[in-house]
Chains A and B, each alone.
Chain A
Amino acid sequence: MIALAFWLFATLTVASAVMVISARNTVHSVLFLIFCFFNAAGLFVLLGAEFLAMILVVVYVGAVAVLFLFVVMMLDIDFTELRQGFLRYLPVGIVVGVVLCVEIVFVFKTWILNPDMATVAAAVTPPLDQISNTQALGSLIYTHYVYAFQASGLILLVAMIGAIMLTHRARVGVRKQTISTQVARKREDAVTVVKVPTGEGI
């Protein structure tokens, strides 16, 4: 059953990944990308990493890809036009690809694994039969990897500052709704009841 599920998810992941780069319509590409994430989440579940699987769906599918889709839908990019230089650059691309492939072959041919690898990797992981996957992840992130975790937070802070600094413009002459003043307004400040004598006016 597990094997069947694995092959299903794995095939769909690869197939949709291929479709991402080969679909003509960019919106279709993004939809395939989402499908790909989804299947990757399935693979995570099979690995027993259920927390990661759900977070992948929540963050990547539920938020990041939505914004992606947003941008792709709003921009009117003609991708056939972008592909026009494709043939011209194909030889260069092939050369680079072949060089990388050859390198990888060389690397794997002489691959020697560090004999202590298993002990090194297992040293920090809490025993999985005692606590759940989520708890294990949390206790590692907040103790062993707390430095890396906090540093990543700082990087995201910088990204946020940057996004605001480079795009936010304080526009002048805009009348903004200030709800607090609206709520704080009293009848006495706004309306006065005047007794108007008949036939005289004010």
Chain B
Amino acid sequence: MPLLLPDFTPALPEIFLACAAMALLMLGVFQGEKSAKEVSWLSVAALVIAGALVASRGMERRTGLEDMFIVDGFSMFMKLFVIAGASIALIAAIRFNAREKTERFEFPILILLATTGMMMMISANDLISLYLGLELQSLSLYILTSYNRDDVRSTEAGLKYFVLGAVSSGMLLYGSSMVYGFAGTTSFTSLAEIFGSTDSGSIGIIIGIVFISAGLAFKVSAVPFHMWTPDVYEGAPSQVTSFLSVAPKIAAMALFTRILYDPFGHLVGEWRQIIATISLLSMAVGALGAISQRNFKRLMAYISIGHMGYALAAFAAGTEDGVRGVLIYMAMYVFMVGGTFAIILCMRRDGKAVERIDDLAGLARTQPALAVALAIFMFSMAGIPPLAGFWSKFYVFYAAINANLYTLAILGMVISVVGAFYYIRIVKIMFFDEPAGAFDTPLGAELAGVIFVTALATVLFGIFPSPIISGAEAAAASFFAG
């Protein structure tokens, strides 16, 4: 019997990244702890090369590896932003780790492996590859969360994340088994054909979709599966949180989009209500929960819950506009949240990291550049017009209104006005409160660079949003081309 290997070329970036991670692991193991910095920079280089490989693929839709893997414009767009998010977090973490004396070569390697998992999630075209990518990503994140293993908060956060993550994986698998039980196949392509031909799903399918959605909603930390988020964000070491809050969210959102639009696309009437409800609840809980927070990382947790709500609002549309809205939202999200976390990593006073919002008081007088950058991120997240965040919200609500989801759109706008309160409060604390003392300087070239680039991107994409928007449009078009 001839053994024929499938075509591996569509997965080239993933294979490269996995091999790079293993090679760097060997390097780290043989060189010991002192190689941490070297491994970190080489990991960044590996991410850049993987990004180049992704970009060189083009937007053409192709499946490979026995139909388990798919590449198209959508996956390319999402992968590039996952890689951008991972690189930002990794570069920002290098200096932070050096200062906190937490340098270990496993850190960049786990980030590389987690990124590989995310790219596998984005390209999943089968329930099996979906699950494997998801687990690769999650397992790396659980470990990273308890990275400071001597710190009670970090280990507690890791344990919490692990236990709840395992529950959500269980729900996902339960849902998948229902779907498999009906269709007898796990491939998205065949599933789409089957659901396209049968007029409506049976209750089994609906329950399957509900469970899969619940599992994925956990991964994007959408309400009512958000409980882990504040604790994990606060407990995890800051350099990990900055990774945790950006790249995995994009990957999970991409996966969510892929699975509900592609195999279950014909059942949009069945799942739209679920997504709209989740979206509305996430926006509301994100906004209301954020108001009373004193810890900046905890605040960011609620902010990211809210952001996921907005992205899901576009998602609920179920149209090409919706996909475009999600793409634009996640793209802008990378710069805003990545930049904000780089600033959190700068918050050190007298050699110790601080993370309370009050510690920002009077920042405008002590470190005006940092204050301006943070103000840019805050205004952008609030959706104030000339900044990137405005466009992301604009296209979200545009998609929702075009799909006749008026209630969702109107309530979302009201909530975003409520949300502006805590963004503006931070700006007020920075610019008008009595200074609480300067943060330790120098910030380090890496951190300063990351903050500068992300702030610049936030402003530039606010003024000239067309590259992202046209890219997202092409990606969304290629998603529906297949």
Binding site for B on A (CB under 8 A): 103, 106-114, 116-118, 120-121, 126, 130-131, 139, 142-148, 151-152, 154-155, 157-159, 161-162, 164-167
Contact = CB atoms under 8 A, between A and B. Distances in A.
Contacts of B6: 143-144, 146-147
Contacts of A117: 183-185
A157 B113 contact: yes
Contacts of B5: 142-143, 146
Interface stretch (B135-143, B261-269, B392-400): B135-143
B140 A158 contact: yes
B66 A145 contact: yes
B22 A157 contact: yes
Contacts of B128: 145, 148
Contacts of A146: 5-6, 65-66
Given A120-B190, A142-B5, A145-B66, 19 more contacts: A106-B207, A107-B202, A111-B182, A112-B182, A112-B198, A113-B182, A114-B184, A121-B184, A131-B1, A143-B4, A143-B5, A147-B11, A151-B132, A154-B113, A155-B139, A158-B113, A158-B136, A161-B25, A162-B110
B475 to A, nearest CB: 24
A126 to B, nearest CB: 6
26 contacts: A110-B202, A111-B202, A112-B182, A112-B202, A117-B183, A120-B183, A120-B190, A126-B1, A130-B1, A139-B3, A143-B5, A144-B6, A145-B128, A146-B5, A146-B66, A147-B6, A147-B129, A151-B120, A154-B113, A161-B25, A161-B110, A161-B143, A162-B139, A165-B104, A165-B106, A165-B149
A148 B185 contact: no
Interface of B: 1, 3-6, 11, 18, 22, 25, 65-66, 68-69, 104, 106, 109-110, 113, 116-117, 120, 128-129, 132-133, 135-136, 139-140, 142-143, 146-147, 149, 178, 181-185, 190, 194, 198, 202-204, 207
A132 B5 CA distance: 20
A115 to B, nearest CB: 9
Nearest to A136: B1
A110 B203 contact: yes
Nearest to A151: B132
Contacts of B65: 146-147
Q: Interface of chain B, helix or strand or loop or mixed?
A: helix
B66 A166 contact: no
Contact of B110 (A107, A118, A155, A158): A158
B206 to A, nearest CB: 9
Nearest to A116: B184
Contacts of B18: 154
Given A147-B11, A148-B129, A161-B143, A154 B185 contact: no
A148 B106 contact: no
Given A146-B6, A162-B139, A113 B184 contact: yes
Contact of B66 (A108, A139, A144): A144
B144 to A, nearest CB: 9
A106 B184 contact: no
A194 to B, nearest CB: 42
B185 A120 contact: yes
A148 B120 CA distance: 11
